[in-house]
């Protein structure tokens, strides 16, 4: 079967002879219909994320259940499902208290459900969606309304869960609060629409590419700052204050969606008193940053991580699909371009060039 196989830093290959095993106890085999193209996959290829080769990449997919492993009773063959990457155990304290992103078993899952030429091939992020069929734990497949197009539903599994979830689950932004979003790619756009849904009063989008302003405003931005012009924190504070210092000294929330220590500093510097910075972007292992402690201690500022939007996939995915059907959540507008799997070089190039909100491989 067709797949994109990672062979080491800088090496990715399209193959047509990948094999996948049958599902074991508690697993399902899913025929992938479509997969979103996330920058995390690029981060594996360029070495930012350390992952063993060979592996089948992709982690944002939707498809149809083809086979059930022993003991699976909550899904049926033919169900339409959106996949997520949390291969959590479902039994530990964090899982049972509704915090599956804290489950220790959901970290570093490197199963080997694939084979090629007799060699074992790993999955990526416990999912692997750049392939015609994959095997996942049954709790990673969330049944969705079959009338929702799968090449739209696929983007929920990472971009929407991470972006919207960072706002509503992790930050819990309240109506009337102000926010700045640094980096308006697929994740940043979902942070913007999460802020719009949360009722934020001022939503400032920041990016190095002025061409992203129109899309940012479409998803909820009230203002746009071209970061290539410099002095970004001051410009954000000017927007929030409307020229009147009594209106505030910065934003209540800053979302760093790039994974850059330089951008993190700008995000921290844009905060007002009592403001918090949420780190959403992916950094290389071992990355460190210098943060001035005085503003944290004396004006109640904070910085927090947001793994996978602190998501609860079995609650959040159906809720997001329902909001999409009600016209509240924008999914169709996220998909900029659809590609055949063999055209991966063009797809990755377009992503790196900033041309895509979300690209999708249609299988």
Q: What is the pTM of this model?
A: 0.94
Strands (E), 110-250: 114-116, 119-121, 133-137, 141-143, 178-182, 202-207, 223-226
Give the three-class secondary structure for 40: helix
* DSSP at 45: H
Distances from the Cα of 258 to the Cα of 42, 170, 187, 282, 283, angstroms: 13, 18, 9, 7, 8
Question: What is the number of alpha carbons within 13 Å of residue 260 lying toward its C-beta?
Answer: 11
Amino acid 244: pLDDT: 60
Digit-coded pLDDT (tens) for 18-58: 999 999 999 999 999 999 999 899 999 998 888 999 999 99
Q: For residues 359 and 339, is the Cβ–Cβ distance under 8 A? A: yes
Amino acid 246: pLDDT: 54
Digit-coded pLDDT (tens) for 195-254: 999 999 999 999 999 999 999 999 999 999 999 999 999 999 999 987 665 555 899 999
Amino acid 245: pLDDT: 57
Q: Residues in the chain with pLDDT < 50?
A: none
Amino acid 48: pLDDT: 87
Amino acid 298: pLDDT: 78
Count CB-CB contacts under 10 A for residue 239.
Answer: 19
Count CB-CB contacts under 10 A for residue 143.
Answer: 16
The arrangement of strands across the sheet holding 19-20 comes to 19-20, 114-116, 119-121
Mean predicted lDDT score pLDDT of the chain: 94
Biggest alpha carbon–alpha carbon distance for the chain = 68
Closest CA to 142 of 128, 152, 157, 155: 157
């Amino acid at each position: 079967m067709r797949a994109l196989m990672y062979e080491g830093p800088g090496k990715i290959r399209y193959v047509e002879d990948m094999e996948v095993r049958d599902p074991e106890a508690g697993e399902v085999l899913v025929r992938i219909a479509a997969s979103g193209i996330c920058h995390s996959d690029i981060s594996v290829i360029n070495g930012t994320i350390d992952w063993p080769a060979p592996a089948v990449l992709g982690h944002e997919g939707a498809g149809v259940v083809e086979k059930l492993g022993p003991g699976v009773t909550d899904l049926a063959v033919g169900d339409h499902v959106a996949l997520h990457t949390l291969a959590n155990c479902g039994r530990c304290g964090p899982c049972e208290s509704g915090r599956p992103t804290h489950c220790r078993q959901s970290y570093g899952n490197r199963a080997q459900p694939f084979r090629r030429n007799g060699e074992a091939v790993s999955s990526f992020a416990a999912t692997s969606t750049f392939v015609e069929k994959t095997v996942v734990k049954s709790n990673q497949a969330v049944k969705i309304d079959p009338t929702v197009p799968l090449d739209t539903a696929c983007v929920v599994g990472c971009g929407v869960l991470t972006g919207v979830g960072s706002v509503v689950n992790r930050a819990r932004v309240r109506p009337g609060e102000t926010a700045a979003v640094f980096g308006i790619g697929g994740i940043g756009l979902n942070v913007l629409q999460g802020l719009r849904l949360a009722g934020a009063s001022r939503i400032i989008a920041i990016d190095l590419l002025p061409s992203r302003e129109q899309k940012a405003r479409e998803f909820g931005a009230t203002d746009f700052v071209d970061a290539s012009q410099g002095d970004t924190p001051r410009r954000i504070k000017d927007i929030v204050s409307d020229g009147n210092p009594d209106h505030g000294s910065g934003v209540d929330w800053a979302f760093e969606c790039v994974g850059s220590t330089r951008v993190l500093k700008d995000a921290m510097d844009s905060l007002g008193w009592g403001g918090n910075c949420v780190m959403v972007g992916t950094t290389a292992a071992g990355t460190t940053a210098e943060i001035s402690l005085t503003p944290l201690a004396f004006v109640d500022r904070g910085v927090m991580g947001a793994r996978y939007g602190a998501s609860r996939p079995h609650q959040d995915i159906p809720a997001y699909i329902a909001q999409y059907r009600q016209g509240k959540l924008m999914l169709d507008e996220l998909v900029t371009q659809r590609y055949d799997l063999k055209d991966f070089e063009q797809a990755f190039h377009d992503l790196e060039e900033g041309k895509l909100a979300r690209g999708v491989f249609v299988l």
